[in-house]
Chain A
Amino acid sequence: MSALLNSFRLLFTVALAFLLVSAPAFAQDHEASSHTEDLNVGDVIMNHIKDDHVWHFWDGHYGTWYLPVIVYSSERGLDIFSSRNLFDDHHNYVSYNGYKKEGGRIVLESGTSVLDFSITKNVAMLFINAALLLFIFVKVAGQYKKNPGRAPSGLQSFLEPVILFVRDEVVKPNIGPKYERYLPYMLTLFFFILLGNFLGLLPGAANLTGNIAVTFTLAFFTFLITNFSGNKNYWGHIFWTPGVPLPLRLIILPVEVIGMFTKPFALLIRLFAAITAGHVVILSLLCLAFVFRAYWVGGVASAFVVLISLIELLVAAIQAYVFTLFSSLYIGMAIEEHEHH
């Protein structure tokens, strides 16, 4: 009974701490003088969801991180400059050296498009994610090497159940006897998505796994690995399904080929929609307080946001699990050796 009370106290403290700490950084309209302007909720939310060349933490002189712009065009060659040059003092867009920012992209004033390799908000977030993953897992691997055969301690004991869960519940049953070849990719996928989801929930963070380009790349890797590991059974089933009469085979052929592409497409859309929709819901609730301009609305909205954020933590973990599960299912189906019908 007192264990239940203790866990309730713990949950309450955590939720209260989250509420106190999560004061969001809002991009108010940049005309700082008028406080009676209506807040453009759509713009605020889209700015938080979309990628950008600057990383805006808070309004004020030091609150924006102007990330480097790296563009290549056949006209001008490679150009690297800080995105600070694309804004003037009043945060309006200006053109710099022939480049200007139009509709979120960087274009040359002559109208030709450029290849944009800039370190944008999401790229910087990706680097942070990768650096954190490397730091954590190199440390844990070093700990395993230092104490071979001994009980895990510290960070090891936190990660070991999760890694064993991914190996024993997700990868091994679905891929089968050759699972060890694919285990590094699966573990990387799982922890990358998990950490990316968690980091995206922090205030001021960039929406990494809700960016369709990032999820496209992850689904593309799964697609490549599935199709490069496919054995004769797999390709046989797609192009020339055994055990069905000939006319039916010709009908099944385009369906199966399309099915080859819709499976990673579903992975892509699922992760993108879940994470982006979660962020949109949280941001909309927070914007309610600014639309109504009443303290009680702020209080109620913040309570809702705490509850929804707890659900989002669960969704973050579940989406990572589901992505890894379906990836291993597809790879398992591609490499399975089964008896002929």
Chain B
Amino acid sequence: MLFALLVDISYAIMGAGLGAGLAAIGAGVGIGRIGGSAMEAMARQPELANKLQGSMLIIAALVEVIALFAIVICFLISIREA
């Protein structure tokens, strides 16, 4: 019976949905921490605000790509027809 569950495509699609949500959580946590540290650093040294903002955007892009990779995989699963 468990094997029948495994080969049922609807559970795979549910898994894809869960995966996309988890990827969103990962991206949120990662970029939130980057933003938080950047805010704190900018508050300590306002004259470096521009440089910090630039680095923050770049590192946010790097973290976001990993989450987007998970989104693409989940999308590919969800459009599969059994």
Beta-carbon nearest neighbor of A210 in chain B: B72
Q: Measured between alpha carbons, how far is A127 from B61 in the docked complex, in Å? A: 28
Beta-carbon nearest neighbor of A326 in chain B: B62
Q: Measured between alpha carbons, how far is A284 from B78 in the docked complex, in Å? A: 12
Asked whether, in the complex, the Cβ of A318 is within 8 Å of the Cβ of B72, the reply is no
Asked whether, in the complex, the Cβ of B79 is within 8 Å of the Cβ of A321, the reply is no
A162 on interface, CB distance cutoff 8 Å: no
Nearest-Cβ distance from residue B18 to partner chain A, whole angstroms: 17
Asked whether, in the complex, the Cβ of B68 is within 8 Å of the Cβ of A318, the reply is no
A319 on interface, CB distance cutoff 8 Å: yes
Q: Number of A residues whose C-beta is below 8 Å from B?
A: 21
Q: Which of B57, B75, B78 contacts A314 (CB 8 A)?
A: B57
Q: Which of B58, B68, B78 contacts A273 (CB 8 A)?
A: B68
A278 on interface, CB distance cutoff 8 Å: yes
Beta-carbon nearest neighbor of A41 in chain B: B79
Asked whether, in the complex, the Cβ of A273 is within 8 Å of the Cβ of B72, the reply is yes
When distances are taken between beta carbons in the complex, the residues of chain A under 8 Å from B68 are 273-274, 277-278
B11 on interface, CB distance cutoff 8 Å: no
B31 on interface, CB distance cutoff 8 Å: no
Scan residues 39-71 of chain B and give those whose CB is less than 8 A from a CB of chain A: 57-58, 61-62, 64-65, 68-69, 71
Asked whether, in the complex, the Cβ of A45 is within 8 Å of the Cβ of B79, the reply is yes
- 0/1 per residue, A15-51, Cβ < 8 Å to B? 0000000000000000000000000011101100000
Q: Which of A41, A270, A280, A318 contacts B57 (CB 8 A)?
A: A318
When distances are taken between beta carbons in the complex, the residues of chain B under 8 Å from A278 are 68
Asked whether, in the complex, the Cβ of A277 is within 8 Å of the Cβ of B71, the reply is yes
Q: Which of B61, B71, B72, B78 contacts A315 (CB 8 A)?
A: B61
Q: Number of B residues whose C-beta is below 8 Å from A?
A: 13
Asked whether, in the complex, the Cβ of A277 is within 8 Å of the Cβ of B72, the reply is yes
Asked whether, in the complex, the Cβ of B72 is within 8 Å of the Cβ of A280, the reply is yes
Beta-carbon nearest neighbor of A314 in chain B: B57
A322 on interface, CB distance cutoff 8 Å: yes
When distances are taken between beta carbons in the complex, the residues of chain B under 8 Å from A280 are 71-72, 75
Asked whether, in the complex, the Cβ of B61 is within 8 Å of the Cβ of A318, the reply is yes
Nearest-Cβ distance from residue B30 to partner chain A, whole angstroms: 15
Asked whether, in the complex, the Cβ of A269 is within 8 Å of the Cβ of B69, the reply is yes
When distances are taken between beta carbons in the complex, the residues of chain A under 8 Å from B62 are 270, 322
Whether A42 contacts B61 in the complex (CB less than 8 A), given A273-B69, A277-B69, A280-B71, comes out as: no
Q: Measured between alpha carbons, how far is A321 from B59 in the docked complex, in Å? A: 12
When distances are taken between beta carbons in the complex, the residues of chain B under 8 Å from A46 are 79
Q: Measured between alpha carbons, how far is A322 from B59 in the docked complex, in Å? A: 9
Beta-carbon nearest neighbor of B62 in chain A: A322
Asked whether, in the complex, the Cβ of B79 is within 8 Å of the Cβ of A274, the reply is no
Nearest-Cβ distance from residue B3 to partner chain A, whole angstroms: 26
- 0/1 per residue, A261-299, Cβ < 8 Å to B? 000000001100110111011001000000000000000
Asked whether, in the complex, the Cβ of B58 is within 8 Å of the Cβ of A322, the reply is yes
Q: Measured between alpha carbons, how far is A41 from B79 in the docked complex, in Å? A: 8
Q: Measured between alpha carbons, how far is A270 from B72 in the docked complex, in Å? A: 12
Beta-carbon nearest neighbor of B72 in chain A: A277
Nearest-Cβ distance from residue A219 to partner chain B, whole angstroms: 14
Asked whether, in the complex, the Cβ of B79 is within 8 Å of the Cβ of A42, the reply is yes
Q: Which of A42, A43, A321, A322 contacts B78 (CB 8 A)?
A: A42
Residues of A at the B interface (CB closer than 8 Å) are 41-43, 45-46, 269-270, 273-274, 276-278, 280-281, 284, 314-315, 318-319, 321-322
Sample of 11 more A-B contacts, CB < 8 Å, known A46-B79, A280-B72:
A43-B79, A45-B75, A45-B79, A273-B68, A273-B69, A277-B71, A278-B68, A315-B64, A318-B57, A318-B58, A322-B62
Can you give 7 A-B contacts (C-beta < 8 A)? Answer: A270-B62, A277-B72, A280-B71, A314-B57, A318-B58, A318-B61, A319-B61
5 tightest Cβ-Cβ pairs between the two chains A and B: A42-B79, A277-B68, A318-B61, A273-B69, A274-B65
Residues of B at the A interface (CB closer than 8 Å) are 57-58, 61-62, 64-65, 68-69, 71-72, 75, 78-79
